[in-house]
Amino acid sequence: MSNRISLSNRLSKIASFVEEGDIVADIGADHGYLSMYLAQKYNHKGYATEYGKGPFYKLIDNVEENNLQNLVECYQADGLEGLREDVNTLIIAGMGGRTIKDILCRKPKDLVNVNKIIVEPQSEAFLVRDSLMERGFKIVHEEYLLERGKAYPLIVAIKGAEENSYEDFELEFGRISLKNKDKILFDYLNRTKNLLSKVEENGQLNPKSKVELELCLRHLSNIDVRKSWWKSGFFSIS
């Protein structure tokens, strides 16, 4: 008998966008908690992949320890390699944006049966948004999740074309998140802006603020956007 799987707030939010009838492949499933949770919730088959030998064996052990091997099929793969034909939903979470882009763009034909993609890039999110649109997917939901003091975008896309092309700001921060004035995103950006203003005013920061600024700037991947956004009042929340 398997134990009920509990998820972190981040994984719970990701899982909330999986619906009845979605056949999910969790790419880079780590310990497999998300796949096991979905198997228990919907009682139908899903897939969990890992590339490295060590993480893959750990994934198998976790699934077998919870007696879910009949519902969660684990296989070792690099990206979408060997993607099962019945998969209609992808989850790719906890990776850098460049890695996710490579996974999505390596073999476009791998996405032929996929109708929904749920991604959570940990950096360079603009590459992910651009790749989704390039591969014929439309972003329908986006929000920022806060974990250990860092803001990460959760992006849900379905097959279909965007009506209007994205501006640089929208690629970097997310059109939907900007329109909705996502609180986590705006708080994060305003904090970064305040730190940058201190640099401009004083020419330096104390060591603690300097570390915080460096962490913030890691998420501002587009240099042109980085140079322009903070000088405006665009992100201020009244």
- The Cα–Cα gap between 132 and 119 comes to 10
* Residue 80 sits in the same domain as residue 193: no
- Between the CA atoms of 170, 171, 177 and 181, what dihedral angle is there, to the nearest 10 degrees? -40
Examine residue 235 and state whether it is found in any structural domain, yes or no: no
Which ranges of the chain have pLDDT less than 50?
Answer: 221-224, 227, 229-238
Q: CB neighbours (10 Å) of residue 214?
A: 11
What's the pLDDT score for residue 238?
A: 33
What's the CATH code of the domain at 58?
Answer: 3.40.50.150
Which domain range does residue 204 map to? 185-229
Examine residue 79 and state whether it is found in any structural domain, yes or no: yes
Domain count, the chain: 2
For residue 26, give the nearest of 68, 161, 139, 185 by alpha carbon. 68
What's the pLDDT score for residue 187?
A: 84
**pLDDT tens string 44-74:** 899 999 999 999 999 999 999 999 999 999 9
What's the pLDDT score for residue 213?
A: 63
What's the pLDDT score for residue 169?
A: 80
* Residue 165 sits in the same domain as residue 213: no
Long-range CB contact pairs, 195-199, < 8 A, 24+: 196/230, 197/230
* Residue 172 sits in the same domain as residue 219: no
